């Protein structure tokens, strides 16, 4: 089987390459190798590589910047999947919890109504449509709060700030779940191995957290592993205390029950996953 991975330079693309199963031929393309927003570029790559499966890990993820540059977000997040959908290959597309408005306090199921609050969320939702229009050849996997040793993410930002500041203030009224890109990559490879699987699915690590909870755990685990001299104080604040250009959903915890059953795969608790990622960072394997 030949699998083409877009967004290979990102944190998920990095983990997908590291965890590719034996017997799979991988063609990994960074954004510089193929601009998925360019239909001609995509068509040329597809003709050259003739993949059986495409995993679209490419995304415009600058949530706040998208508010002032919607065209850039839409080019990658909406036009990109549309271009890839014309390849003739099975298409696995990674989406986001930001397609929901977060206005209720129960986990979001794959079939629940979507109502994104931001340009980023709307562009990601638009990108789901051409994938789902493929029917049996299209699969959307929504996830949340992704991090890895590779690339830029909340965990690495917190470690950097905790190494230079005496204390931090972090939003405590936005609830979701962190997801280690390593586990997400494993879930996607399991999806590849199940060709009959299609439609919308959800994946995240087990448990739930606020950004404040996540930051506290990063400090504690980082200090225990020697990545920080000590855990610095983290103070909870409200969303209104930290205004951003893009609105975030207050409760975007994804209900993954059906996906975990379909894949016969249940992730560990997010704190265990965080510890694994930080251990890898300490060992210098990131």
Q: Which residues are catalytic?
A: 120
Structure tokens at 146: 């992704």
Distances (CA, A) of 263 to 187, 190, 235, 256: 8, 6, 38, 11
Sequence-separated (6 or more) residues with CB below 8 Å from residue 137: 89, 90, 91, 198
Of the candidates 57, 51, 78, 52, which has an alpha carbon nearest to the alpha carbon of residue 6?
A: 57
């Amino acid at each position: 089987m030949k699998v083409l991975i877009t967004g290979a330079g990102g944190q998920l693309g990095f983990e997908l390459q590291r965890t590719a199963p034996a017997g799979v031929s991988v063609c990994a393309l960074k954004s510089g190798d193929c601009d998925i927003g360019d239909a001609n570029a995509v068509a040329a790559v597809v003709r050259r590589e003739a993949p059986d499966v495409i995993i679209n890990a490419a995304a415009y993820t600058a949530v706040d910047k998208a508010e002032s540059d919607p065209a850039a977000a839409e080019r990658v997040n909406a036009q990109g999947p549309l271009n890839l959908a014309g390849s003739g290959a099975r298409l696995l597309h990674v989406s986001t919890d930001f397609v929901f408005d977060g206005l209720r306090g129960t986990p979001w199921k794959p079939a629940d109504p979507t109502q994104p609050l931001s340009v980023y969320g709307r562009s990601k939702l638009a990108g789901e449509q051409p994938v789902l229009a493929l029917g049996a050849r299209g699969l959307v996997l929504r996830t949340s709060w992704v991090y890895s040793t590779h690339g830029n993410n909340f965990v690495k930002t917190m470690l950097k700030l905790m190494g230079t500041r005496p204390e931090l203030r972090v939003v405590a009224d936005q609830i979701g779940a962190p997801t280690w890109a390593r586990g997400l990559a494993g879930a996607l490879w399991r999806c590849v191995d199940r060709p009959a699987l299609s439609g919308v699915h959800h994946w995240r690590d087990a448990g739930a957290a606020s950004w404040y909870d996540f930051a506290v755990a990063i400090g504690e685990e980082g200090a225990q592993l020697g990545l920080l001299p000590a855990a610095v104080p983290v103070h909870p604040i409200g969303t209104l205390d930290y205004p951003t250009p893009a609105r975030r959903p207050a409760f975007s915890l994804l209900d993954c029950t059906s996906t975990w059953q379909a894949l016969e795969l249940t992730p560990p608790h997010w704190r265990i996953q965080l510890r694994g990622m930080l251990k890898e960072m300490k060992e210098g394997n990131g």
